Amino acid sequence: MSVLNGKKILLGVSGGIAAYKTASLVRLFIKAGAHVQVIMTPASKDFVTPLTLSTLSKNPVHSSFFNQDDEDAVWNNHVDLALWADLMLIAPATSNTLSKMTTGNSDNLLIATYLSAKCPVYFAPAMDLDMYKHPSVLSSFNALKSFGNIMIPAESGELASGLSGEGRMAEPENIIAFLEADLESKLPLKGKKILITAGPTYEAIDPVRFIGNHSSGKMGFDLANEAANLGAQVILVAGPTHYKAKNSLVEVISVVSAQDMYDACHQYFNDVDVAIAAAAVADYRPKVVATQKIKKAADEFSIELEKTKDILASLGAIKKNQFLIGFALETENEIENAKLKIQKKNLDLIVLNSLQDEGAGFKKETNKVTFIDQDFKIEPMELKSKESVAVDILNKVVSHFTKS
């Protein structure tokens, strides 16, 4: 899966012959799973039509501060466009547009939006070779880079003038590769390996029946997807669940019982940097599993249970430098029970859920958690979607490695 997947990309097109390449560029963005909006300078429409880019991007193309053909003259808000974007790319970036970006000469929608952007801004220059090497253009390059913008260098080749040399806008495939490589290199968990558990476990009574719980596995899968999006190599040990990993970089190990999950976790734990135990593992299992389906006969029936192995405690007992996060689902004395679990299981952080909180618990789209670290610092959070809770938890992981 491309690192561009799900990214909101604002493409600025200025008036150079290389603008014709933006049709292919937009198609590649869409193919990578990105969301694209396009801003064109008036001059760029001489080289590629707004209809083409609108059709390919599946969004209206913006070119002026308001739509002149609209009786209501709806304003195209450059601030909203800038804040929408995860990244902005100006391609082709002509010498004229580069100069305006440098000086802040905001005479069109593209420059106004650029000046409002808070996201990373990339620019791909395109011009003739003498222009590309002119001191004024080189000055623009240096100024823009000093502002924090990122230059995608022009390539050498045949130019529109008939000359051959440096100044040709990078090919769309190379622009995509440049962006992916740059974004991947800046992912905060790049190079980290994370083990995550998810879902319930099923403890067999006989070939038909089992002891389980209501965990859906959503929290663990959201954690795995977010960790992969942040650049981590993710191993997800998942009990029975209908969820699938959205990020193809997540390696899913499917298990059924607590013993299966125990074995899988211990297989990978020594090689990971982080372990997050989000699964709802059964505390007990039948001591004897019937080989045949148990017939309904007696009015009463009892099953002798035995404890399952405590996966989280066993990992805490052998951890070296791993950052170990556990979950606690409590119904009473929540804070005190969570603190005891931190000590008993040698955790660095615990994520406390209370079934007393509306909107939290199993089979919910939302969760309300409280973070408690090994120093017993308590940080209650608001009710959020489980995707947002996953972001908060992974931010704790990022913060841990930033400090260390």
Give the strand pairing for 250-254 and 233-238.
parallel
DSSP states of 311-324 as a string? HHHHHHHH-SS-EE
d(CA 143, CA 125): 14
Peptide bond before residue 172 is cis, with ω within 30 degrees of 0: no
Given 76, 77, 96, 213, the catalytic residue: 213
Host H or E run for residue 177:
helix 172-185
d(CA 7, CA 28): 13
| Residue 378 · residue 335 · CB < 8 Å | yes
Helices and strands counted in the chain (H then E): 13, 21
* Residue from 243, 217, 237 nearest 363 by CA: 217
Contacts of 177 (CB under 8 A, 6+ apart): none
d(CA 212, CA 334): 23
| Residue 170 · residue 153 · CB < 8 Å | yes
d(CA 240, CA 217): 8
Residue type, 304: E
* Residue from 397, 175, 153 nearest 278 by CA: 397
Q: Is 213 a catalytic residue?
A: yes
| Residue 129 · residue 157 · CB < 8 Å | no
130 to 108, 133, 214: CA distances (angstroms) = 26, 5, 68
The encoded tokens of residue 103 equal: 């000086």
Evaluate the CA torsion angle 303, 304, 309, 312 in order and state its sign.
positive
* Residue from 152, 154, 150, 149 nearest 169 by CA: 154
Give the strand pairing for 349-354 and 369-373.
antiparallel
Residue 40 forms beta bridges with which residues?
13
d(CA 266, CA 314): 9
Q: Which residues are catalytic?
A: 213
